[in-house]
Amino acid sequence: MNYYRYRPYKPINLKDRTWPDNVITKAPIWCSVDLRDGNQALVNPMNLDQKINFFKHLVKLGFKEIEVGFPAASDTEFAFCRALIEKNLIPDDVTIQVLTQSREHIIRRTFEAIEGCPKAIVHLYNSTSVLQRDVVFGKSKEEIKELAVFGAKLVDELAEEYGKEKLLFEYSPESFTGTEPDYACEVCNAVLDVWQPTPERKVIINLPSTVEMATPNVYADQIEYCHRNLRYRENVIISLHTHNDRGEGIAATELGLMAGADRVEGTLFGNGERTGNCDIMTVALNMFTQGIDPKLDFSSVMPTIEIYENSTGMRVDPRHPYVGDLVFTAFSGSHQDAIKKGMKRLEEHPDRWEVPYLHIDPADVGRSYDPIIRINSQSGKGGVSYILEHNYGLSVPRSIQQAFSLVVTKESDRQNRELTFKEIYDLFFETYAVNSPISLKYYYQSGSGENIVIKSDILINGEFTNITGKGNGVIDAFCDSVKNRFGIDFDIVTYSQHSLDYGNKSRAITYIHIYDENQKSYYGIGVSTNTAKASFRAILSALNLIIKDKGTEL
């Protein structure tokens, strides 16, 4: 590990920083750069039709500013910009943005691309970092500033020709995070002096972490420094454009907003050069979960995933925040139990989302509740019981939950995979609704009060026989008949019954927990349209398990 080749990033000296005490209270101005930064990062860039469809979807999501490309970079980029304008595809409340380096022929070509556009943002940039100045350009600070000023003046001149009232200006000191903050402000202020922003025509100063070089708090310090030191601040929109080289692009964006920024450039799912851009969807939904209107509509994420994957050839990771296939899924037993209880408590206050391990309601992003709990060998009784109750209406008693969870774990281990809901349901009945070697066909009740007589027709290994018992109730009388006939002693520990909500709602299901003479637990379930018959079947099921466990010959 050649760690000695690297040097720690030197933070700026901002002792009186205020951003740590600030809270995000409203959505910023959003600008999608999917069709530029995201598109140039693809192995196979989008074609014209794909870009048009993607643009339409971004509009549908609520983006009011969309960077449509680098028109001077290729014929496809230029043609796309022209198609949006000539086919009248840009809604009145949407402004397209075009990117240009501070080079004369590129600036002029960019203006050709937006001719006839109702309104547009011309985004000018040149790199200002120490490394770029030294390695790439071999220019001094003054020469780099002159390049920025040259581009600003040419943009201003051409704007007069093309209709300045239709255009807004944006400037980026590319590789801002590698630029001395005082020098970055010096260059930006020189550009602002040329453009002379006003309340009616504000200027965007975009401060990109073109390469993420330090922790998000350092980026926030840099943003706050510029927030304090840019001239015309009341007429300047500070914009963020973070990358994700350190995996902290979202955090850097959020801290940058706390530090005074007004606007965010980013992409859906964070797609962009190298490790990607700020993921606008995640930042917006982070705000949503804090009770803030994000001003973007992600109430149905599946169409967005579909158009993104079809257009880019990329795939959304199953653990991607908010939208991945598994982000609302719990396999862990303790998580499942907490979620089950939270969903139950939610019935008391449906207007306030408070469910452990789920910081957003899946329905709020158009997702189903079905995959919230999935069962594998890591799952526990809470998850299993949730599935049986939520999907099949079975209110399984706690003692049986615990026992059955071990059965499920063993089966999942055996098959080395998660189990489907249907497999769990079938396994539950296979385990506890055991009708061999003894099964009930009919029963007859007589007597009353504490003198109930139950006569039953049962099958033992396929052969009919009759048993009779007496007791102070139907359950007691039936147990007496079984004990007398088979000589097996047992006691009922718990008994519960409810109507069966899955399938035929006229049926009842009974759950029984019994101890044998050695205090060993056995469980049984029975189902019937007759409540007594359901109970008798549950008792016989548990008895069958005792017989099989002990190897008793009948």
Residues 294 and 345 in one domain: no
Instruction: Return all residues near 319 (Cβ < 8 A) that are at least 6 apart.
Output: 326, 327
Does 13 map to a domain? no
Q: How many structural domains is the chain composed of? A: 3
Does 21 map to a domain? no
Residues 41 and 147 in one domain: yes
Angle at CA of residue 433, ends 427 and 439, nearest 5°: 145
- What are the b/e assignments for 199-223, b being 16+ CB within 10 Å? eeebbbbbbbbbbbbbbbbbbbbbb
Does 22 map to a domain? no
Does 4 map to a domain? no
Residues 126 and 43 in one domain: yes
Does 403 map to a domain? yes
Question: Does 241 score more than 80 pLDDT?
Answer: yes
Question: Does 3 score more than 60 pLDDT?
Answer: yes
Residues 160 and 267 in one domain: yes
**DSSP state, 363?**
G
The predicted structure's pLDDT at residue 502: 57
Residues 514 and 389 in one domain: no
**DSSP state, 293?**
-
CA distances (Å), origin 190, targets 12, 127, 227, 294 = 22, 15, 16, 34
Residues 39 and 172 in one domain: yes
Half-sphere exposure of 296 (CA within 13 A, CB side): 31
Sheet holding 521-528, edge to edge: 490-499, 508-516, 521-528
The bridge status of strand 521-528 relative to strand 508-516 is: antiparallel
Range of the domain at 338: 333-431
154-190 pLDDT tens trace: 999 999 999 999 999 999 999 999 999 999 999 999 9
CA distances (Å), origin 196, targets 98, 145, 169, 364 = 20, 17, 11, 44
- Of 378, 407, 431, the position where a domain reaches its end is 431
Does 421 map to a domain? yes
Biggest CA–CA distance in the chain, Å, is: 108
Does 240 map to a domain? yes
Least confident window among 6-20, 34-48, 322-336, 453-467: 322-336
The bridge status of strand 203-209 relative to strand 236-242 is: parallel
Smallest CA-to-CA distance from 97 within 20, 35, 24 is with 35
374-426 pLDDT tens trace: 666 566 666 788 888 888 889 999 889 989 989 988 998 898 888 888 999 99
The torsion angles phi and psi of 115, rounded to 5 degrees, stand at -60, 130
Residues 422 and 454 in one domain: no
| CATH number of the domain where residue 463 is located | 3.30.160.270
Residues 354 and 450 in one domain: no
Question: What is the mean pLDDT of the segment spanning 85-113?
Answer: 97
Residues 443 and 389 in one domain: no
Q: How many CB atoms are closer than 10 A to CB 117?
A: 22
Residues 383 and 399 in one domain: yes
Q: How many CB atoms are closer than 10 A to CB 100?
A: 23
Residues 130 and 279 in one domain: yes
Instruction: Return all residues near 464 (Cβ < 8 A) that are at least 6 apart.
Output: 441, 457, 458
Residues 405 and 483 in one domain: no
| CATH number of the domain where residue 250 is located | 3.20.20.70
The predicted structure's pLDDT at residue 389: 86
